[in-house]
C-alpha cells in the first residue's frame, strides 16, 4: 500500500501553492519563554490568507484539479475556516465553489464564506442534513468535493506550514500542533519526521473533543458523540486517512481543559498583541499547563488561525 | 536659540536605547491598500516592549541621567503607557521609579505600572492633585521628573520609531502619526525631515481632543477643557516644546471622529490580526476616511501601541 502522505507530497504542495499563500512570520513568544525556561517559536498562521492555515490545503486541492474537473467547481460542507479557504482558493482559480452550511450557523461564519464569493446552500444542522445537501449539489453540478482534512492533497498542503517553520528555525526539539480532524497534525508530522527526525511531535486537543486521543489509545476511530469546546475548529472527528498518519507518525496527543484554552488565548492577545482563535490557543495552553516538559528545549508551535468573532469573545 | 530637537538627538537616542527596545516589524496593510490604491506600511509599535512606543522616550531619558541623579530615581504622573514605560526603563537601569496615579484609575492601568515594579502614589484625579502629589514625592526623594512628552530626550526617543521605519522602507511619500501630547509626532517629523525631506508629515488627532489642531491654527497652545475620546492615549495637551516642533515641522493635522476610530481599530483586529489600541487606530481612520489623498503613494503609519483592556472593548 502506498503511503497516504509523503514528504514529497508536501514539497510538491509547497511549490504548487507558493503564489497563493503567505510565507507567514515566526514570532518568539518571549513572555512564555520566561515562564517555561524554553525557546518558543510560533508559526503565525493567523496572519495567513483568510486568517488560517486552511488555505494551504484548500489551494493545493484546487490547484491539483484537472482543467475539466476544475470547470465543474468544488464543494464542501465545512462551515468553518475550510469553507472560507475553499471559497478563496476557488475564486483565485476562477472556478465555482459551493459551501453547504447549517441554517443556524453564525452570521460571522456566513459572512466569511460569502465574502470570498462562494455559493452557500443552507441545510439542516445534522450531519445527515449536510451530507444530503452536499450530495444533491454534486449530483447536479459535477463539482469535486474537497474534504476539510481526510484528503491527501489537503493534508499535504497543511504540512507546508511546518516545512516553512523548520526552514526558518533549525534545531527544533518539539513541535506542537492542534488536532481537529487531524489534517494539520498529519502534515506537520510528516514534514517534521523528514526534516528533523529526532524532533518530538505532539498533538493538542480540547478535553471536550478528544476523539484523536481516544482513537489512538483504542487503535480505531472513536468519535466523541457531542464535542463541546470553545475551540470550534477542533470539533471535527479524525478520518481514516488522518488516523492512519497520526497513529504512525505522532509521539503523543495531550488534552487541555476549556479554562486553559481561554487563558492561553487571552495571554497571547495581551502579551504578544496578536489575535489568535481558541483552536490555535490549545498548543500554548498545553505548554503553559506543563503537559509536556520542554525546559531548556527549542519548541515550535503552529498558531493555526486568527478568525474570531469580536462580538462574542470567550471572556 | 538652539533647536529643541535635532536629528542628531534622535540618532543618539537610537544608539543609547538599542539594547532595551525591540526593532519592531513593519507590516503591509494589504486590506487597506486595496481600499485606497496606495501602499501602506505599518510600523508596529504595538509589538514594542511594554506594548507601546513610549518605552523609547522613557528609556532615552532614564539612560541619559547621571549616575548621581539616577540613584535618586525617576517620577511621573502619567497613568497611561508612559507610566508603565518609565517603570520598565527604571527597572532596567536598576533605579527607583514612582508613578502618581488618580485613585480612580482603572485596575488595568494600575496593574500595568505595578507589574514593572514602580511605586504607585494615589492622588485625587484633578491635575492639581496629581501635581501636588508628584512635587511632594520629588521634594522628599530628589527623583527626576520625566515628562511624558514635553522633554527633548523623550521626544528624541520617540523619533527612533520613524528612524527605523525610513531605514526599512525607502521612498515614503507620506508619514502619519497620532498626536496626544505631541512627543511621537515631534520625533517622527524631525526624523522624517532629515531622512526624506520631500515626505509629507501628518498628525492625526481625535475630534474630541483636538488641542494640537486648534493650537496650530491659533498660533498658541489652546487646551481642550474636557477632552473626550476613546483614544485615551491622546487626551493630553501639547506642551510648549512639542508645540514649537509641530508648528515648524508638520505639514498638517487632521481630525477623526469616534466611530471612525473604533471602526479602524476593529478593521485592524479583524483583517491584520493584530491588537492595536484606539490611539493607534486614528492614523488608519484618517486614511480610511480619505482625510488625505494618498492614491498611488507610499504611506508609512506609526501604529503607536497595543495596550487594550480586553474586558472593556469599545464595540
Q: pLDDT by residue (tens digit) across B241-298?
A: 999 999 999 999 999 999 999 999 999 999 999 999 999 999 999 999 999 999 999 9
Least CB-CB distance to B274: which of A270, A274, A315? A274
The label of the residue with cell 473604533 reads B262
Q: Do A46 and B273 touch (CB under 8 A)?
A: yes
Residues of B near A (CB-CB distance < 8 A)? 25, 46-47, 51, 266, 269-270, 272-276, 306, 310-311, 313, 315
- For A102, the enclosing helix (H) or strand (E) is strand A97-102
- Would you say the ipTM is above 0.85? yes
Task: Classify B54 as helix, strand or coil.
Answer: helix
Q: Which helix (H) or strand (E) holds A92?
A: helix A81-93
To 5 degrees, how large is the angle CA A217–CA A220–CA A226? 85
Mean pLDDT, to the nearest integer, of B131-145? 96
CA nearest B161: which of B244, B239, B55?
B55
d(CA B210, CA B237): 9
| pLDDT of A2 | 59
Contact A269 B310 (CB under 8 A): yes
Say if pTM beats, i.e. exceeds, 0.90.
yes
> Which chain B residue has the Cα nearest residue A315?
B311
Q: Is A121 helix (H, G, I), strand (E, B) or coil?
A: strand
**CA–CA min distance B315, chain A (Å):** 8
Q: How confident is the model over B183-197, as pLDDT tens digits?
A: 999 999 999 999 999
DSSP assignment letter at A180: S
CB contact under 8 A, A274 and B269: no
Strand ranges, E, within chain B: 26-28, 39-44, 74-76, 97-102, 119-123, 144-145, 174-178, 200-206, 252-256, 298-303
Rg (CA), chain B: 18
pLDDT digits (tens, 9 = 90+) for A47-58: 999 999 999 999
Contact assignment for B313 to A310 by CB distance below 8 Å = yes
Neighbouring C-alpha atoms within 13 Å toward the C-beta of A11: 7
Neighbours of A308 (CB within 10 A): 23
Which chain A residues have a beta carbon less than 8 Å from that of B315? Answer: 310-311
| Residues A62, B165: Cα–Cα separation, whole Å | 38
Query: Average pLDDT over chain B, rounded to whole?
Result: 96
Percent helix, strand, coil in chain B, to 5, is 50, 15, 35
> Per the structure block, which three cell numbers stand in for A74?
468544488
State residue B2's pLDDT score: 59
Interface test with B, best of A265, A269, A273 (most B CBs within 10 A): A273
Residues 6 or more apart whose CB falls under 8 angstroms from that of A275 comprise A46, A269, A306, A308, B269, B273, B274, B275
- B270 torsion bin: left (phi>0), alpha (psi -120 to 50), beta (else): alpha
Of all residues in chain A, the one with the smallest CA distance to B277 is: A273
How far does A132 lie from chain B, in Å, by closest CA? 33
Is B117 strand, coil or helix? coil
Does residue B200 have a pLDDT over 70?
Answer: yes
Distance from CA of A217 to the nearest CA of B (A): 37
Q: Where are the beta strands (DSSP E) in B77-124?
A: 97-102, 119-123
Q: Mark the ranges of chain A whose per-residue pLDDT is less than 50.
A: 1
Q: Which residues of chain B have a CB within 8 Å of the CB of A311?
A: 315
Strand arrangement of the beta sheet that strand B298-303 belongs to: B26-28, B39-44, B298-303, B174-178, B200-206, B252-256
The shortest C-alpha distance from B213 to chain A (Å) reads 30
Residue B114, Cβ density class (10 Å: 0-12 exposed, 13-18 middle, ≥19 buried):
middle
* Measured distance CA(B98)–CA(B76) in Å, rounded: 7
The model's pLDDT over B209-255, given as tens digits with 9 standing for 90+, comes to: 999 999 999 999 999 999 999 999 999 999 999 999 999 999 999 99
Please, what are the domains in chain B? 7-53+151-303 (3.40.50.1100), 55-145 (3.40.50.1100)
Q: For residue range B4-17, list pLDDT tens digits in order.
A: 999 999 999 999 99
Q: How far is A274 from chain B (nearest CA, A)?
A: 4
- For position B239, what pLDDT does the model report? 96
pLDDT reading at B1 higher than 60: no
pLDDT of residue A78: 82
CA of B240 to nearest chain A CA: how many angstroms apart?
34
> How far is the C-alpha of B199 from the C-alpha of B298, rounded, in Å?
10
Q: What gap in Å lies between CA B201 and CA B210, rounded to an integer?
A: 17
Question: Over the stretch B78-116, which tens digit does the pLDDT of each residue have?
Answer: 878 999 999 999 999 999 999 999 888 888 888 889 999
So what's the pLDDT on residue B23?
A: 97
- Distance in angstroms (rounded) separating the CA atoms of residues A281 and B248: 48
**In the block, which residue shows the cell 449530483?**
A139
**Which among B51, B306, B310 has the least Cβ separation from residue A266?**
B310
pLDDT at B304 over 60: yes
Pairing of strands B298-303, A26-28: unpaired
- pLDDT of B49 strictly over 90: yes
Give the DSSP H or E segment for A133: helix A127-141
At residue A105, the pLDDT reads 85
Residues in B closer than 8 angstroms to A273, CB to CB, are 46-47, 51, 274-276, 306
Q: Which of A266, A276, A310 sits opposite B315 (nearest CB)?
A: A310
Amino acid at each position: 500500500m502506498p503511503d497516504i502522505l509523503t514528504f514529497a507530497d508536501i514539497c510538491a504542495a509547497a511549490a504548487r501553492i507558493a503564489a497563493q499563500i503567505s510565507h507567514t512570520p515566526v514570532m518568539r513568544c518571549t513572555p512564555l519563554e520566561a515562564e517555561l525556561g524554553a525557546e518558543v517559536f510560533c508559526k503565525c498562521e493567523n496572519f495567513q490568507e483568510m486568517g488560517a492555515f486552511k488555505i494551504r490545503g484548500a489551494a493545493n486541492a484546487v490547484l491539483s484539479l484537472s482543467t475539466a474537473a476544475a470547470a465543474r467547481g468544488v464543494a464542501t460542507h465545512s462551515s468553518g475556516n475550510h469553507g472560507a479557504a475553499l471559497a478563496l482558493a476557488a475564486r483565485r482559480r476562477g472556478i465555482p465553489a459551493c459551501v453547504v452550511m447549517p441554517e443556524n450557523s453564525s452570521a460571522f461564519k456566513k459572512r466569511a464564506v460569502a465574502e470570498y464569493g462562494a455559493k452557500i446552500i443552507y441545510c439542516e444542522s445534522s450531519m445527515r442534513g449536510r451530507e444530503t445537501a452536499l450530495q444533491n449539489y454534486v449530483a447536479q453540478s459535477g463539482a469535486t468535493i474537497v474534504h476539510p482534512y481526510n484528503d491527501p492533497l489537503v493534508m499535504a498542503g497543511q504540512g507546508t506550514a511546518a516545512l516553512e517553520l523548520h526552514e526558518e528555525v533549525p534545531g527544533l526539539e518539539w513541535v506542537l500542533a492542534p488536532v481537529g480532524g487531524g489534517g494539520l497534525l498529519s502534515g506537520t508530522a510528516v514534514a517534521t519526521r523528514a526534516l528533523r527526525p529526532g524532533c518530538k511531535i505532539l498533538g493538542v486537543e480540547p478535553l471536550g473533543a478528544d476523539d484523536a486521543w481516544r482513537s489512538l489509545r483504542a487503535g480505531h476511530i472513536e468519535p466523541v458523540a457531542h464535542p463541546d469546546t470553545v475551540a470550534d475548529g477542533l470539533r471535527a472527528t479524525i478520518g481514516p486517512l488522518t488516523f492512519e498518519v497520526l497513529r504512525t507518525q505522532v509521539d503523543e496527543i495531550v488534552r487541555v481543559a476549556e479554562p486553559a484554552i481561554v487563558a492561553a488565548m487571552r495571554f497571547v492577545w495581551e502579551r504578544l498583541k496578536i489575535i489568535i482563535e481558541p483552536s490555535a490557543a490549545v498548543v500554548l495552553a498545553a505548554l503553559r499547563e506543563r503537559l509536556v516538559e520542554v525546559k531548556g528545549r527549542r519548541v515550535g508551535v503552529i498558531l493555526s488561525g486568527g478568525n474570531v468573532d469580536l462580538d462574542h469573545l470567550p471572556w
